[in-house]
Structure 1
Amino acid sequence: MDFVFMLQVKAVATRSNESIREIEQEKSSLMLQLANYNKTRPTVKTPLSGYEKQKLMSLEEALKPVNHLIEDLPRQIAEAKRNCTMPKDGLTEDESASIMIYTMEWGETSLHKRLNVALRSKDNNKIKPWFPYLKLFMTALQKLP
């Protein structure tokens, strides 16, 4: 009886050791997959991909491609710039005005409403004309504390 009991204990211990080895191997495999995840993940191109490659330009130049979408845009640009002379936050006048004009409200053709419609569409053809403005706007936002 002691012999049978010892065989059973040995069998349980052997199975336990095998299970532990299998778990350790699985853990090692998962850790390796996790370590390689960022290396093997495919690059996803979003409709916004590429705006950051635009050159920085004045607010007037950045908004030229969307001028036809926004009622009274030249006057709105002038107003934003009037309110953003000599910014004290380290931004240029154009960068500061790009934030100001985004926050201005003048009805259904307000810049922020038109931009958000384009962004929500996820249609690259509707978003691409906004790239110069997005470059200026995002550059300004990144400079803020």
Structure 2
Amino acid sequence: MDELDKRILRRLATDGRTSMSDLGDAVGLSPTPTARRVRALEETGVIAGYSARFDDEKLGYPVTVFVSVQLDKQIDEALANFEQAISAFEEVVDCWLMTGTRDYLMRVSTVDLKEFERFLTHRLTKVRGVASIESSIPLRRVKANASRTP
């Protein structure tokens, strides 16, 4: 990956819908070589896909809560059971398997704190193997990037 590829990635990170012509202008190439480079970045998996980012608040989900979960066992079966259960919960926007004192960190998005409470008490606490849960409510987002660029 050379400097031109990095410039292409930085531009696509800010506007993934840009045309090849505009992208080429931004990085100093004509559209055809720009398209070849983008295709090569896609084929090698550097560009893993394209998506739209949504504003949870404008969609009617203004409450975000970060939830840490510790399982009673960290064996493959327990991890798989938890991950399968979480994949069915639409309130869970993101979920990561973690190192450290907690096994999972999730970002949960709901319409209000009452809905979060229902999710917590009626769904998450019922998942087999959950030993403890810790919730943190963010005050405001300080920085947001779609992904890290070179």
TM-score of Structure 1 vs Structure 2, range by shorter chain: under 0.3
Higher normalized helix content (fraction of residues):
1
Give the greater-gyration-radius structure (CA). Answer: 1
If each structure's strand is expressed as a fraction of its own residues, which one has the higher value? 2
Q: TM-score, normalised by structure 1?
A: 0.22
